Amino acid sequence: MIGKKGNDAFGRHGYEVLEKYITFGGRITYDEAGEIGEKLVEYFMNEEVDEIYTIHNEFKSTSIQVGKVTKVLPLAFEASEDHLLMTAWITSTSLKRMHCLKR
């Protein structure tokens, strides 16, 4: 959890906060971001957590900020119909070639 407000809010609601990063001025360095990212991937790869999300405000204007939730891990990709057709064609062609080679 990055930030005092987030740590306080999630702690009050009974969530287990695995790591706390309290910064002054709301900014983290590039190196700190890298360390945090490595730790998150480690938790995920060791199956200590199933999913990782970011929860943050999206700045629209000085008076409007919109809350956002973004899934980070596991990665999810959306494929277009064209991509799926091309993948099917490549797979089909590859299987035909493999079949020809086996004869």
Q: Would residue 91 count as lying in a domain?
A: no
CA–CA distances in Å: residue 97 to residues 85, 86, 92, 100: 18, 16, 9, 5
Q: How many domains does the chain have?
A: 1
Q: Would residue 102 count as lying in a domain?
A: no
Find the distance separating the first CA and the last CA of the chain, reported in whole Å: 58
**Where are the alpha helices (H) located in 1-103, listed in sequence order?**
4-12, 30-45, 81-102
CA distance 95 to 75: 28
- The residues of the chain scoring below 70 in pLDDT are 24-26, 77-103
Domain that holds residue 24: 4-76
Q: Would residue 69 count as lying in a domain?
A: yes
Q: Would residue 95 count as lying in a domain?
A: no
Instruction: Provide the CATH number for the domain around residue 32.
Output: 3.40.1380.10
Token reading at 56: 């943050």
* pTM for this predicted structure: 0.59
